[in-house]
Structure formats: C-alpha cells, structure tokens
Structure 1
Amino acid sequence: MPSSARVPASTTLEVACDESGSEGEKLVGGSTDTFAHASVAVSTAVAEETIARVRVEARSPATEVKASVVLRPQNRRVLEWLLGDRGPLLGHSHVHLTDKALHLTGRMLWLLRDGARDGMGGGVDGDGDARGLHREAARRVGREAWVSVLAAFNDVVRARSLEEASAGASLLACRLSEVGGQLDRSLPAEGWSVPLDPEGLLRLVARGRGALDPIVPALADTLRHWGSPGRPFRVVHDVQASLTEAAVRAAVTGSGAEASGAFRGLHFVDSHADPRVQLADFLAGAVRRIASQVLAGDADPTLVTLVTPYLSDRSVWLGPWPAGTGATSLPRVAGR
C-alpha cells in the first residue's frame, strides 16, 4: 500500500461520501435509530488496494465490500485494521453521527415554536432547550414514551392530506398532554403549541416538509470540515434521492462562508464504480452500527474507542461519547 493515503495538496481535493441509516424523514419507528454520514479523502489507488485486501481477508467474493461483511464476528481483525492507526482511513476521514430521536426533538421544538410562523429555514444548532427536553423526557417518562410523542409529531409533518395531519395533530396534542405534567421544567415556557386549525396545520406541514432529513445538516458539516482549510474541494457522493438541488444548496449555505467558497461542486456516482465511496459506505455503516449499540447500552469498548477519532464534534449526540474509551464530547443538536 502507498505510504500516504492523502491526496496530493497541489490538486483540488476530492472527497467521497456515503451514508448509513437513511430512511428519509421517517426518524423514529423505522429500521434504524442512528444515522451516519461518512466522508473520506484517499486516492483511488489506495481505495482499490484496500478493497482488494478486505475481499481476500474477509473471504468475500463480492465486488462491492459492504460494512455488513466487515462487521461479521469472524472478520473482526479486518475491521480493527480498517479503523485503526495502521489502516487507510484514520486521519483522512470524517463522520457526522446523528441520534435520530434527538434530531427530531430539535426539529419539533423549532417547528412548534417559531419555525412554523417565521418563514425561516433555520435550525436549533446547540439549542439547550432541545437537549434539555430530550434528556429530561428520556429520564422522567422513559425513552419509549418520549419516542411515541416524537413519532406522532413525525407523522404530522409527513402527512399526505389535511385529514391525516389533523388526526396526527390530535394524537400529538394528547400524547404531549399525557407526559407534559412530568416535563414542565423542560418544556419551553413560551410559544410551544400544536396547531389544530386547518391553516396552522397546513403551515406546519409546509414548513416541516424537507426540514427533517438528517442528511442535510450532515452534509453541511461534511462541507464545513473539508472546506475549513480554504482548499478547493469537490464531493463525489453515492446516489441519494434525498439530496435534491434544494437540499444541496441548503447544505452549502449551512456550511459557512469559508467552506462554501472552497466548494467546487457535488456529483453522484454509483458506489459500485468508485472504491472510495465503498470505503465511505463501510465507515458510515460501521459507525452507525456501533452508535446504535451505544444507545442500547451494548457497545463493544474496543470498537467504540476505534471510531471515536472519526466523529465530528458537531454530531447530533446527547452528552459525551462513552467514558473510559477515549471519550470525546458530542454535545450538539444540529439543525439545518
């Protein structure tokens, strides 16, 4: 393998991206409770050699190596090599991690407060209300009861008709009422309400549509990370229907002036055709699986330690990464 995986500084940096755990704007009650967006900046040659080595060591006939292959117990040695300091990714990769329920708590607060009325596309990045509410709700009423509230809100915003939105809003108001007495100190003091009138509901659905998908703030953070040195860069991304032109524009705007000034565009590729994107897919899948285990209280300390250096400090995660494993603080609730 080449001695350095980094792309020569004299060229425009090309960053390959993929995600794991995407279910669009369905954030709770789906197949995954976490979302990870990974980006890698390695040469095509390094990526090809890495995929070839993994295929041999994992005894996989697949031309595209997926995270699920490397995460099998019998391939633990390969996984540790890929993530560790002897592998090709450390120092050349970045992962934005999202706890979907926490992200949805932030979106709900924004939309049920000023977001449904002010006409702005802002978010709740670093919002103490969202973090405090999510923490206290999980502690006082339990994660399951709180997720049922979030699910009701999620259904309202994703409603396909006024009738469906109205039924969902009534259920949301009921569930908030049921848990509200235990959350008085955590709920925002002003401007928090569930609209039940047709006009208010239509406004809420209109503002919320397109505002929930965690891939937009994740991509914004990715652009911010790679654009912060001011070096021109472009992104190659696995085909992702959620990344419409409007979504990419929102991510570029949210990345900040320095990154947006250095950004030279994004184009989509089939992961089968680009081994760099396959590495991003592997990294995103590994981090997402490990993060879900952390939420479930069933994480492997060694793997938690190995993925820690990759995690963005702008990840949507409540509190510190597990203590005693090379912990890093991941305190933010990221908005759009």
Structure 2
Amino acid sequence: MTGNLEDGERGGAAGPFLEVACDESGSDGENLTGGNTDVFAHAGVSLPVAAAAAAVREIRDRIRSPAEEYKANHLLREKHRAVLGWLLAPDGPVHGRARVHLMEKSFFVVDRTVGLLLDDPAAAVTLFRAGSRTFGEEGWRAFLETANRLLRVRHDGDPVDAFYGTVDVLRRNRPRTDAAQVLDRLAGTRARAVSYRAEFLAGPPLIPVLDPLLPAIVRTAALWSGDGRPVRLVHDRQNMLTPDRIAWIEEAARRAGVGLAGLRLVVAREDARVQVADFLAGIARKIASDELNGRGDPALTALLRPYVDPASVWGDARSGALLAAPVAGRW
C-alpha cells in the first residue's frame, strides 16, 4: 500500500514516511470470553486529512442523524445500507487506502493458552476445531472461560484449580478423541501454570498475554510498511497505550523488521482520519461476527473482503468467506 507524499512528512535520510490513522472495535481488555463481542478489529486508514474530513461530512450529509458523534452503528442500520455500500465500494473514498486486522477472540484464548503451556500452535488449532463438537457447547464454554481466567491478570478464586479441574472432567468424558489428546497433554502442565500465576505476585506484567490491542498495532504497522517506506501511526487515545507500552510496540516492530517511525495518540473526534478508521473497525467487526455465526450478509461480506488482512487470526474454515483462503493465524 502506498499513500501520497502529503500523507506523511520527511523522515530524514530514510525519506518520507506514511502516516496511518488507527482505531479498534470490540476491545474488552483481557475478558475475551465474557465480553460483549466475539471479534476484535483493528483498522488502519491512509488518507489525507482533507479527504478524511470530506468523507465524514459526506456520511453526515447522507445519514442526517442529530448525533454529535457518528459511530459505525449509524452506517450498519438497514436504512443506511446505501451509505455503507458507498463507503466500502471499489470507487468509494477508502478503497485501497484502508486495511483491517480481525481476530476471533475464542480462538485467541485457546492459542494463547496452548502456546503458554505447550508451545504447540498446531495443537491449539486441533483443540479449537474439535472442542465444541467433542465436548458440547456447555463443556467447551467451561474450557474457554477457565482458560481465560487462568491467563488474565485479574481473576477471582483459584484460576489454576478451576482450569485443571475442567481439563480433567472433559478429557475423562471423551477419551481418545483428538481434542482429549490435547487436554491429556495440558493436564501435565500444572507446574508451568503455577509458575505463570506466581509471576503476578511481583506486579502485573507490562504486556498482558490476552490483550489483543498491542500485537494488533504491531501487525497494522507491518501491513503498511511492506513497500519499504517507514510508517507512523496516529491512534485513538487508549488507557492501554501508556508510554512504556508504546515503547514495547516500537521495539517489537523493530525486532520484526517493521519500519515503524513512531506512534502518536490523538482524540478521535479531533482527527477525521481516526474517525474513518473507527467506522471501518466497527463495520468490519460486525460483518465478521455475523459471518462467523452463520448469519452473514453475502453482499456486505464481499464489500469487506478487500480490506481484510489475510493474516487475521481465525481458528477454522469459517473465515473462508472473509479471506481469499481460510487460515489459522497466530501472533
């Protein structure tokens, strides 16, 4: 992806950099199984300020809501479907200038849990794809919730006992299945889980294992710096984005070979580019959630598809309607 030189500024000897405005939708912090959404979306938009402001004005003129601040839900209403189509269409204001990284939260929990305890990405995919079918909706929900409690910084009760108690019950109920074989391996990892929880006694970690925002920002930077030009991100203010965590993002990008020239925080309502990114993130999250839950709208899914990062994080082939090829991703 490339942008006009007016989008960025001169970056010294490195030449011009591209400025990309970002926002997210679906963030529930570390509560990935008990929150209000099942998909997390992080969008990046490379538009000149004037072009973004014109797009926002056009949306307001077409929708004519008295709301002071417009959000994605305005565009997602059936009566404004034509406005949504205009925004995402191939000849619309953001086509070729916007991308969105999507993450299926339940798979992210499984991947992070299996990654921490077994360091085996393939086992995470096997467990996720077979979990609900093997253990039933209630049993699988119990696994996801106790895994979420085990990894999150804040918790109630003893998350280690709750997790391994659930693992033992499920694997005994459905022995010799592919999913139970993964749980058999997890059953032997209690010492590693205890060690993980003990680390919290010294204070909460700088980078929570389960919060998707920080790695999503690194991935967004990677998406836009692929042409060799450094990228600077302009992001909506978030409590999560402390100076120390911004430094971690910049270092993680450097280690990954991503040309991130910096991250600047702004108030969304004061930057039209971030408002457009907010629209795209919210729209993408809703369309992706509908698709994953079997209630997708083929026309809207087709409109969204060109914007979706092919490295979005899914656990099974339900992503096929959103991506060119179904993949199981991992950060």
Normalising by structure 1, we get a TM-score of: 0.84
Deviates more, 1:101-110 or 1:184-193: 184-193
The within-5 A match list for 1:124-135 is 127-135=121-129
CA contact (8 A) 1:16 1:237 kept: yes
CA distance in 2 between counterparts of 1:54 and 1:200 reads 48
Gaps of 5+ in 1: 115-123
Q: Does 1:136 align with 2:141?
A: no
Secondary structure of the structure 1 residue equivalent to 2:190: coil
CA distance in 2 between counterparts of 1:197 and 1:42 reads 45
Q: Does 1:83 align with 2:88?
A: yes
The within-5 A match list for 1:222-237 is 222-237=220-235
Q: Does 1:147 align with 2:141?
A: yes
CA contact (8 A) 1:159 1:165 kept: no
C-alpha distance 52-144 of structure 1, shift in aligned 2 (>3 A):
farther
In structure 2, the partner of 1:120 is: none
CA distance in 1 between counterparts of 2:150 and 2:322 reads 40
Q: Does 1:50 align with 2:47?
A: no
Letter in 1 for 2:239: A
CA distance in 1 between counterparts of 2:280 and 2:193 reads 45
In structure 2, the partner of 1:194 is: 190
Number of residues paired by the alignment? 315
CA contact (8 A) 1:157 1:208 kept: no
CA positional deviation for 1:330: 4.3
Secondary structure of the structure 2 residue equivalent to 1:37: strand
C-alpha distance 290-49 of structure 1, shift in aligned 2 (>3 A):
same
CA distance in 2 between counterparts of 1:220 and 1:249 reads 12
CA distance in 2 between counterparts of 1:279 and 1:175 reads 43
Letter in 2 for 1:156: L
In structure 1, the partner of 2:178 is: 185
* Percent identical residues: 34
Secondary structure of the structure 1 residue equivalent to 2:324: coil
1:97 equivalent among 93, 102, 105: 102
CA contact (8 A) 1:138 1:146 kept: yes
CA contact (8 A) 2:319 2:327 kept: no
CA distance in 2 between counterparts of 1:7 and 1:281 reads 21
Secondary structure of the structure 2 residue equivalent to 1:98: strand
CA distance in 1 between counterparts of 2:193 and 2:82 reads 58
Deviates more, 1:251-260 or 1:17-26: 251-260
In structure 2, the partner of 1:300 is: 297
C-alpha distance 257-74 of structure 1, shift in aligned 2 (>3 A):
same
The within-5 A match list for 1:233-312 is 233-255=231-253, 259-260=257-258, 262-312=259-309
CA positional deviation for 1:33: 0.7
Write the deviation string for residues 43-86 of structure 1: whole angstroms up to 9, x where unpaired.
11111111111001111233432101111110000001101112
CA positional deviation for 1:159: 5.4
CA distance in 1 between counterparts of 2:125 and 2:69 reads 39
CA contact (8 A) 2:23 2:236 kept: yes
Q: Does 1:112 align with 2:103?
A: no
Letter in 1 for 2:241: L
C-alpha distance 140-204 of structure 1, shift in aligned 2 (>3 A):
farther
C-alpha distance 83-174 of structure 1, shift in aligned 2 (>3 A):
same
CA positional deviation for 1:20: 0.1
CA distance in 1 between counterparts of 2:211 and 2:137 reads 21
C-alpha distance 218-160 of structure 1, shift in aligned 2 (>3 A):
closer
CA distance in 2 between counterparts of 1:25 and 1:142 reads 24
CA contact (8 A) 2:310 2:323 kept: no
Secondary structure of the structure 2 residue equivalent to 1:155: helix
Secondary structure of the structure 1 residue equivalent to 2:19: strand
Q: Does 1:31 align with 2:36?
A: yes
2:67 equivalent among 44, 62, 70: 62
CA positional deviation for 1:334: 2.2
Q: Does 1:175 align with 2:166?
A: yes
CA contact (8 A) 1:16 1:276 kept: yes
CA distance in 1 between counterparts of 2:85 and 2:32 reads 30
CA distance in 1 between counterparts of 2:196 and 2:107 reads 25
Secondary structure of the structure 2 residue equivalent to 1:106: helix
Secondary structure of the structure 2 residue equivalent to 1:15: strand
C-alpha distance 64-12 of structure 1, shift in aligned 2 (>3 A):
farther
Letter in 1 for 2:208: G
